[in-house]
Amino acid sequence: MKFYNKWPFHIAVIVFSIVADQLTKLWALARFTNETGAPNHDVINILGEFLRFQLVFNKGAAFSSRPQDLMPFLSPTVFFILISLVAVVVMGWFYKNIDKRDWMSRLGVVMILGGAIGNFIDRMRLQMVVDFIDCDLPDFIMTRFPTFNVADSFVTVGVAIVILSPFILKEIHKQIKEEKEQAKS
């Protein structure tokens, strides 16, 4: 079995994603806030208007949705703790049930976990998530894509890897499916 399919490597990916996320958020806070901690509204163009850095605080859930609208009887902190616990349990169960030969899906799941933990740390520490990566997409989709962070990137890439795994590792998935069918009969 390859090193990238063993749990020490997976733990390292989770730790790396959390550290990279938190360090970049600390940089964004230091660079884009004034003495009072309020955003200074500076913008750093990386690739013109296509890619730029600017600070945005997300006090809601994904895409700034408000947890109070979904479950008004829970405080946002309790809501995010419960959602995070459920997500970690589901991802742990999913990881445990992925065949060890499907190294891509396992890697995708640990990337999702690392990103989710990074944003959870923000919610517990700041009661909001620090976002600072701002991309523009063609105007026929939306004016601008929602501002995001490194943790969001790990989650997105992890989800893409899990989705693409059956296509890229086609033979392995075919073999796993055949073995499951043989075990049923």
Per the annotation, the verdict on 99 as an active-site residue is no
The count of other CB atoms within 10 Å of the CB of residue 79 is 19
CB 173 within 8 A of CB 165: yes
Q: Of 21, 102, 131, 134, which residue is the catalytic one?
A: 131
Instruction: Give the bridge partners for 51, in sequence order.
Output: 47, 135
Give the number of residues written for the chain: 185
Q: Residue for token digits 């976002």?
A: 131
Structure tokens at 91: 């991802």
User: What are 163-167's contacts with CB under 8 Å, separation 24+?
Assistant: 164/104, 165/102, 165/104, 165/105, 165/108
The count of other CB atoms within 10 Å of the CB of residue 95 is 18
Per the annotation, the verdict on 152 as an active-site residue is yes
Q: Of 21, 102, 122, 152, which residue is the catalytic one?
A: 152
CB 26 within 8 A of CB 20: no
Structure tokens at 139: 């105007």
The whole-angstrom separation of Cα 122 and Cα 44 is: 23
CB 158 within 8 A of CB 108: yes
- Which residues are designated catalytic? 131, 152
